[in-house]
Structure 1
Amino acid sequence: MRWTSYLQLASTIAATVAQASTLTPPVIPLIVRNPYLSAWLGHARENPWEHWPIFWTGQEIGFSVLASVPRSNTVYPLLGRPQDSLRKTGESFNVSYPTFLGATFDASTTNLTYHIPSPFESQDSLEVVLSFLSPITPTSTFRQSIPAAYLTVHVTGGFDLDVYLDINGLWVSGDRANTIGWTFSQSEPPKGSKQSPLKVWKVKRVVEQLFTEWADRSEWGQLHFTGPAEVNYQAGTSAILRTAFSRSGTLSNNVDGNFRGIMDEEPVFAFAYSFKLKPTSNSTSAAGGKTYASALFTIAHVQDPVIQFASARGLTAMRPLWASYYPNADVLLEYHYHDFQKAFNLASNYSDQLAIDALQSGSEDYKDILALSARQVLGAASFSGTPDNPIIFFKEISSDGNMNTIDVIYPSFPFFLYTNPRWLAYMLEPLIEHMLSGQYPNDYAMHDLGSSFPNATGHPDGRDEYMPVEECGNMLIMGLALVNALKYDTQPASIWSGQGRHKVAQFIEGAFPLFVDSDGMDDTVGGPVEAKGEKQARKWVEKSYRLWKQWTGYLVRETLIPSNQLSTDDFAGWLANQTNLALKGIIGIKAMSEIAEVVGETEDATYYRKISENYIKRWEEEFAISRDGTHAKLAYSWYGSWTILYNLFADSLLCFHIPSSSSSIPNNWKDQKPITLPDQQVLKTGFVSDKVYKLQSDWYHSVRQKYGLPLDSRHLYTKSDWEFFAVSVASKKVREEIVDSIALWVNETTTDKPLTDLYDTEGTGGFPGIEFKARPVVGGHFAFLALERACDGKAVAALDFLNEEEKVEVYEEEMMHNEEL
């Protein structure tokens, strides 16, 4: 028996478990790396052995864990429903149930903690933690690209324990009738290496179908299930293997060679590990005579190629990004297994910083909402391309399966600004390349890169979903946000952007090449050093300036009074003269004026700036605001209507609302007191006036429902991403009360799929008919963190006028309290 080499990890995990999550969502991520490696704990408010884990669609997948105490004749299900395979009578063992202490999670990790009773009256129960790690590593794009995750079984106690794990073929196909094949192998570590050999199951369809999905699961690719050298193994019928383990606490090291259908005498692929915890002279004990030990397993789903893409050079089978660094999956996954501690540390660094930032800007509830959202965002991403030109392909999960949908990238992009702006560039690049190549015929930005993931084949007929103002505005806003993230002065958009070695690409075609050092770490992103950020931004904009100008021209013609069309909220239907949509387009024109400045196109910059200033004045004074001046209307001519004005977020994010758009703002401007003006006078300090911010903030307070802020006056449903966009530019009091409402919804909603972004704000907080689930748009929950770091930290400070009234109210309450004393 190898006493754990992860003792330091054990204490780390124990500390993590102690920090209980404040929220109880209905579903929690377990292993979430990309659209096809996606396992979740459904019914997460119940015991983990009462239901099978689920794929993001809500369909079950085979993943079970059992524990057995030697010589106790008792077996305990921990995950899945393996007990259904075990006979209730006539066996040498009994099925019992542990005490489940609950699930905790951070941005990368989910821990399930159990107590198993001791067979001896004199001993305490044993603690088992199943720790699932899908590491988010913003300083290591290479590691983020690896389609694999970790499961550590962590035990603490004074008596021995045997643990069994198995998976089935539903990880490699959505069709239960498909025939699968499998192999078992043991790796050979490099000569001279101190690494132990690994034991690996490989499972795939016998006849694969490249670039094909069935029920959103891939029909090509191979599952790798890896365990340490000490495990016993077996492949065979699920009931036979589970029964054998329950009787003996081990497996026979045999492989059933009868390839068959996924549910035809259901073949499973199992490992068994024995933890020798009885104190001995060789063991390492903690306080109270208890011993720590752990065993590490990994699960990977490997595809090569990953996507077919209508690139500038034609239809191309795109290889995974990791293939530029490792010759094959076996070598990659052996590296991945032994890289656990480094990946764990990088992921913990991200999770810890995220928790700090969320707590400082919000609350415990906000911290947990972001932790719950992070893996879900990246669960839509597939890393491809080469180090010279990395690409992220992004699936519009659950709503319609499109590729790199612009209005799905847009709500998710606060996550990428906060975490790694480079990854935002990698998502936009294939869209820009495709449109630059002339394969898209319309003069506005395309809706998506292809109707059905993983086929990024474009829309050569131009008949993609019709959202022209929406997508042009989205591209221009994200384009300038990315430029600003590169050109930061003192504070980067992402705290991790400045970490790593400084490299300046001189002769590489791609604007965002990926330099990786010998430890798999990225170079810096943008920044002031040697004007690297300025050079990257200019190079990127120059390459596609024709497109930016073309999209802006469309907005100049069409955005002030939008025709009947869809916005990103297409489920709400077509509508003419949408107030919020027009605002997005106008901000897009303003963004282009600054994009033009980046490449020295001063005439264009002046022209677009004047147009945008004229349009925003007319939008505010003629079209947008209700007759009583209390809120923005849903549509110009729809009197009595109202809407969440979530596109106001872009005005602040792009630094249009700080006192000056130049970088010469006095350092002491935040300390200056606002000038007191008569009630009817409004000091316009930015592009969109303070008045609009103030009236919308007040309106959100007045229309808030039990579970949040309805999307508009037509329905009681809402979109959580837009709620966070909206309240990020509202007063602190309004933001706090709406975040509280959203947290209440997370705890009480009857939705039963991975975190939805579309839900009813009243009733049971359920689905409003449409079932959105596991969508990456929850990256919008990071809106306030992205805003806090925008404009060298000035963006949020420029909104402090929204809190002045609240400060006065607090002051008056304190004065009254003092007088009473």
Structure 2
Amino acid sequence: MIGKLFLIFSVILTIILVLTSQFTLATTKKGFFRPPAVPLVTFDPYLSVWSEGTYLANHATVHWTGTNQDLVSLIRIDGKTYRLMGDQPKDLPALKQTNVEVFPLESIYYFEGDGISVKMSFLSPRLPSDLETFSLPISYITWNVHSIDDHAHKVQIYYSTSSQLAVNTFDEKVNWKTDRIDNLIIFETGASTQDVLGLAGDRVRINWGYIYTVASSNQATGTINENDYCQESFIRKGILPSESIDQPKAVDDGEPVEAIVLNLGEVKSEPISRYVMVGLNERYVVNYFGTYLRPYWMHWYSNTDNLFMNAFNKYNKIYNESVNFDQKVMSDCKAIGGLKYAQICSLAYRQALAGIGMAEDSNGQPLLFTKENTSNGDISTVDVIYPTSPIFLLFNPDLLKGMLVPILDYSESPLWNNEFAPHDLGTYPNALGHFKKLGDIGEQMPVEETGNMLIMMDAIAQAEGNADFALKYWPLLTKWANYLLQNGFDPGNQLCTDDFAGPMPHNANLSIKSIEAIGAYAQMCQMIGEQKDAQKYLKTAKDWAKDWATKDISSDDSHYLLGFESSENTWSQKYNLAWDKILNLNLFPTNVINTETNYYLTKLQKFGLPLDSRQLYTKTDWTIWTASLKPQTPYFHILIDLVYKFLDETPNRVPMADFYWTQSGYQAGMFARPVGGAAFITMLTDKEMWNQWVKDAQKINGNWASLPKSYFLLEPLE
């Protein structure tokens, strides 16, 4: 009894202290939300450029791997030049930055100085209601300039895209060319040696395909020349050099850049707008079981000329639709979780999508492939797709199907002869599976990945109101459900998704996943009319949930343990419980969530809730899921505010880390990963809102092609 009273007192005190500290932070902190890194030009793991500083002009822009990929912008006001983006030339002053805002599709910087105001935005139009636009491998960079001192000012803007974006290492040589198509000027740069899909691994950059900078020939002049030479010419004269340079040329030999000058003329109080497009043509996205797949944008466009002409002509339409999308996402996120939750989701949206490649199969259907950034570079890792899935379940379930089809087809093929779901399909960009000539089947998490697949398949069914997609793979799903019946309740010494902690037997949170997955399978049975099986599996899931609550509880009934045979002082975030309410499974006794969430409030650190009792590190994605066990409550806001505080104050300036130390705010390893999509799970707790977003999504016919016949050339695993 004393233990319970102490726990209640601790919880109340924690709520008071945390809410008080958050109120003080919100009302006294000056400035704006400071993301650890701001997305600039993003599309997939190869086109992913970020600013890792508070001020856009104080640091070089970088690829998510941290390697410089210079995007530079200068502004000339009445003959005096300032930096807007990038830290070069270092002796040039920066125009004063007054704010930065990050929305799901757009990052906006604001500047003032010498009588003018500049709004500079970076828009990646990943609209889930328009898959043609969603597939565009481009970002728009827009400058809006107007006078703020009642005087006219002569303004010119300089912009350049470095050839660094076209290579993995700077000693590689590049070639380039310039084209003029109608009213567009198109610059193209690519590695001289085009080893398509030849470079696989984690922290690598593309060295095949071509990087583009595109602008209106009526509003811009441009050239491809050495970086310093272009900048010096603009600073001195407001023009670009007219001379050409010889090619090919190594990137570290003068750094060729695609340079543009935009002449705005006399700028008065009426804003003047100019924009350029930065894009990537990968040529091929993945090696899919021996067949190279083209980018999905080629479903609509036969070449880059048509792509850029369409994207240029539709700029106003795309921009307005993107702004409307951002406003609706922000409004709904605020309604569900408050402003800080909305800002976390805004930062997560483009990061999640920038960790995923998008290809077209032989039937013209989209296939999506996650890359396991900053962990090992695996492609289509199931326990990466699982935390990523809420962003697609909310905005377009068909795209989640496009992520799962490669896993499902591989699992049904002779290449995979196991009773459980696979961990991954290989190393990005090679989706070849695991077979004898590779030596083994790689890292596996049998209960983890099998549970993940069943839960995601049911979540799709619940989003769409039918189990048609699941029915296509019914024998496989049944096999997986039966594997969990044999192995799921009390898992053996297996890895779970938190594999950095090592394998562990009797994992209580992994057991929850199995229980939820069996319940999910029962729901799908019911949806396809298999009532007898639905009753059988549902009864098992409910019985297991009841047994779990008895088996895992601590002796003083204050919390649930890390594992069934763990010591009394152990505990863990039971984030897999989130699906119990979202999928309307309602398997676990009502007191389980209350007991756990109350206990979590006694374990908070300065920057968040540790993942479990073993270490003080945590996962951003799982903390948001754990918060979502009780949405729209003080408990939820306490956990979300601590995630926000981490992002706002961490000293590690990298794209959102999902693995960090709660006592210090330092990253513990992984960042820039698609698992940022996990943030949107709270939106799924409002069924009406979820249904509306699914209704707005563009649907596809779902006639995915089978595995390429080239897979027969691969030697199956025995």
- Please classify the TM superposition score into its range, dividing by the shorter chain length: 0.7 to 0.9
Report the equivalent of 2:708: none
Task: State whether structure 2 residue 608 is matched by structure 1 residue 716.
Answer: no
State the Cα deviation string for residues 326-376 of structure 1 (Å, max 9, x = none): 111211121112221222122222211111111112221111111111100
Query: 1:134 Cα deviation (Å)?
Result: 0.8
Report the equivalent of 1:292: 271
Report the equivalent of 2:700: none
Shift >6 Å, 4+ stretches = 790-794
Say which of 171, 175, 184 aligns to 1:177. Answer: 171
Instruction: Summarize the alignment of residues 483-502 of structure 1 with structure 2, pairs less than 5 Å apart.
Output: 483-487=461-465
Report the equivalent of 1:767: 667
Say which of 35, 53, 69 aligns to 1:25. Answer: 35
CA contact (8 A) 1:21 1:105 kept: no
Report the equivalent of 2:127: 137
Instruction: Summarize the alignment of residues 1-16 of structure 1 with structure 2, pairs less than 5 Å apart.
Output: none
Please give the secondary structure, in 1, of the residue aligned with 2:686. helix
Task: State whether structure 2 residue 401 is matched by structure 1 residue 429.
Answer: no
Report the equivalent of 1:652: 581
Say which of 487, 506, 511 aligns to 1:577. Answer: 506
Say which of 65, 76, 93 aligns to 2:73. Answer: 65
Please give the secondary structure, in 1, of the residue aligned with 2:280. strand
State the Cα deviation string for residues 699-727 of structure 1 (Å, max 9, x = none): 12111221111100011111011111111
Instruction: Summarize the alignment of residues 205-244 of structure 1 with structure 2, pairs less than 5 Å apart.
Output: 205-213=191-199, 215-229=203-217, 230-244=219-233
Alpha-carbon distance in structure 2 between the residues aligned to 1:254 and 1:137? 41
Query: 1:101 Cα deviation (Å)?
Result: 0.9
- Amino acid corresponding to residue 139 of structure 1 in structure 2: S
Alpha-carbon distance in structure 2 between the residues aligned to 1:422 and 1:570? 29
State the Cα deviation string for residues 186-223 of structure 1 (Å, max 9, x = none): 112xxxxxxxx011110001111111337421121111
Higher RCO, Cα 8 Å, sep 6+: 2
- Amino acid corresponding to residue 143 of structure 1 in structure 2: T
Alpha-carbon distance in structure 2 between the residues aligned to 1:755 and 1:60? 18
Report the equivalent of 1:105: 102
- Amino acid corresponding to residue 627 of structure 1 in structure 2: S
State the Cα deviation string for residues 497-537 of structure 1 (Å, max 9, x = none): xxxxxxxxxxxxxxxxxxxxxxxxxxxxxxxxxxxxx3xx3
Alpha-carbon distance in structure 1 between the residues aligned to 2:364 and 2:121? 35
Please give the secondary structure, in 2, of the residue aligned with 1:112. strand
Report the equivalent of 2:594: 694
Query: 1:791 Cα deviation (Å)?
Result: 10
Task: State whether structure 2 residue 283 is matched by structure 1 residue 304.
Answer: yes
- Amino acid corresponding to residue 85 of structure 2 in structure 1: L
Query: 1:784 Cα deviation (Å)?
Result: 0.9
Alpha-carbon distance in structure 1 between the residues aligned to 2:94 and 2:628? 45
CA contact (8 A) 2:174 2:247 kept: no
Say which of 140, 157, 162 aligns to 1:150. Answer: 140
Instruction: Summarize the alignment of residues 449-528 of structure 1 with structure 2, pairs less than 5 Å apart.
Output: 449-450=425-426, 452-461=427-436, 463-487=441-465
Say which of 530, 542, 545 aligns to 1:616. Answer: 545
Say which of 57, 65, 83 aligns to 1:77. Answer: 83
* Stretch of structure 1 that moved more, 432-441 or 367-376: 432-441
Task: State whether structure 2 residue 314 is matched by structure 1 residue 336.
Answer: no
CA contact (8 A) 2:542 2:588 kept: no
Report the equivalent of 1:37: 47
CA contact (8 A) 2:407 2:425 kept: yes
Report the equivalent of 1:676: none
Report the equivalent of 2:527: 598
Cα separation, partners in 2 of 1:474 and 1:233, compared to 1, 3 Å: same
Task: State whether structure 2 residue 645 is matched by structure 1 residue 747.
Answer: no
Query: 1:22 Cα deviation (Å)?
Result: 4.9
Report the equivalent of 1:273: 262
CA contact (8 A) 1:365 1:739 kept: yes
Report the equivalent of 1:159: 153
CA contact (8 A) 2:683 2:689 kept: no
CA contact (8 A) 1:136 1:350 kept: no
CA contact (8 A) 1:63 1:165 kept: yes
Say which of 537, 556, 562 aligns to 1:628. Answer: 556
CA contact (8 A) 1:162 1:250 kept: no
Please give the secondary structure, in 2, of the residue aligned with 1:277. strand
Cα separation, partners in 2 of 1:422 and 1:22, compared to 1, 3 Å: farther
Alpha-carbon distance in structure 1 between the residues aligned to 2:688 and 2:510? 23
Query: 1:254 Cα deviation (Å)?
Result: 4.4
Alpha-carbon distance in structure 1 between the residues aligned to 2:263 and 2:642? 46
Report the equivalent of 2:294: 319
- Amino acid corresponding to residue 352 of structure 2 in structure 1: V
Please give the secondary structure, in 2, of the residue aligned with 1:759. strand
Alpha-carbon distance in structure 1 between the residues aligned to 2:225 and 2:33? 39
Alpha-carbon distance in structure 1 between the residues aligned to 2:534 and 2:170? 58
TM-score normalized with structure 1 length: 0.77
State the Cα deviation string for residues 550-570 of structure 1 (Å, max 9, x = none): 111110111111100111000
Alpha-carbon distance in structure 1 between the residues aligned to 2:93 and 2:299? 49
Query: 1:170 Cα deviation (Å)?
Result: 1.2
Query: 1:395 Cα deviation (Å)?
Result: 1.2
Alpha-carbon distance in structure 1 between the residues aligned to 2:343 and 2:129? 22
Please give the secondary structure, in 2, of the residue aligned with 1:418. helix
- Amino acid corresponding to residue 172 of structure 2 in structure 1: N
CA contact (8 A) 1:383 1:392 kept: yes
Report the equivalent of 2:334: 359
CA contact (8 A) 1:655 1:791 kept: no
CA contact (8 A) 1:474 1:584 kept: yes
Larger radius of gyration: 1
Alpha-carbon distance in structure 2 between the residues aligned to 1:51 and 1:655? 48
Query: 1:793 Cα deviation (Å)?
Result: 8.2
CA contact (8 A) 1:202 1:225 kept: yes
CA contact (8 A) 1:654 1:791 kept: no
Instruction: Summarize the alignment of residues 558-569 of structure 1 with structure 2, pairs less than 5 Å apart.
Output: 558-569=487-498
Please give the secondary structure, in 1, of the residue aligned with 2:451. helix
Alpha-carbon distance in structure 1 between the residues aligned to 2:283 and 2:395? 27
Q: Which runs of 5+ in 1 are unaligned?
A: 1-19, 89-94, 118-124, 189-196, 279-288, 488-533, 658-686, 795-821
CA contact (8 A) 2:166 2:211 kept: yes
- Amino acid corresponding to residue 470 of structure 2 in structure 1: V
State the Cα deviation string for residues 568-589 of structure 1 (Å, max 9, x = none): 0001111110000011011111
Q: Which runs of 5+ in 2 are unaligned?
A: 1-29, 693-718
Cα separation, partners in 2 of 1:411 and 1:258, compared to 1, 3 Å: same
Please give the secondary structure, in 2, of the residue aligned with 1:291. coil
Alpha-carbon distance in structure 2 between the residues aligned to 1:363 and 1:541? 35
Task: State whether structure 2 residue 368 is matched by structure 1 residue 368.
Answer: no
Query: 1:258 Cα deviation (Å)?
Result: 2.7
RMSD: 1.8
Cα separation, partners in 2 of 1:112 and 1:213, compared to 1, 3 Å: farther
Query: 1:412 Cα deviation (Å)?
Result: 1.2
Query: 1:549 Cα deviation (Å)?
Result: 0.7
Alpha-carbon distance in structure 1 between the residues aligned to 2:34 and 2:471? 48
State the Cα deviation string for residues 797-821 of structure 1 (Å, max 9, x = none): xxxxxxxxxxxxxxxxxxxxxxxxx
Alpha-carbon distance in structure 2 between the residues aligned to 1:471 and 1:759? 24
Cα separation, partners in 2 of 1:42 and 1:437, compared to 1, 3 Å: same
TM-score normalized with structure 2 length: 0.88
- Amino acid corresponding to residue 436 of structure 1 in structure 2: E
Please give the secondary structure, in 1, of the residue aligned with 2:563. coil
Task: State whether structure 2 residue 249 is matched by structure 1 residue 260.
Answer: yes
Alpha-carbon distance in structure 1 between the residues aligned to 2:390 and 2:104? 15
Instruction: Summarize the alignment of residues 386-397 of structure 1 with structure 2, pairs less than 5 Å apart.
Output: 386=361, 388-397=364-373
Query: 1:792 Cα deviation (Å)?
Result: 7.9
Alpha-carbon distance in structure 2 between the residues aligned to 1:359 and 1:187? 44
Say which of 56, 80, 84 aligns to 1:48. Answer: 56
State the Cα deviation string for residues 613-643 of structure 1 (Å, max 9, x = none): 222221111x221111111111111122000
Count of residues in Structure 1 that have an aligned counterpart in Structure 2: 650
Alpha-carbon distance in structure 2 between the residues aligned to 1:446 and 1:356? 38
Identity of aligned residues (%): 28
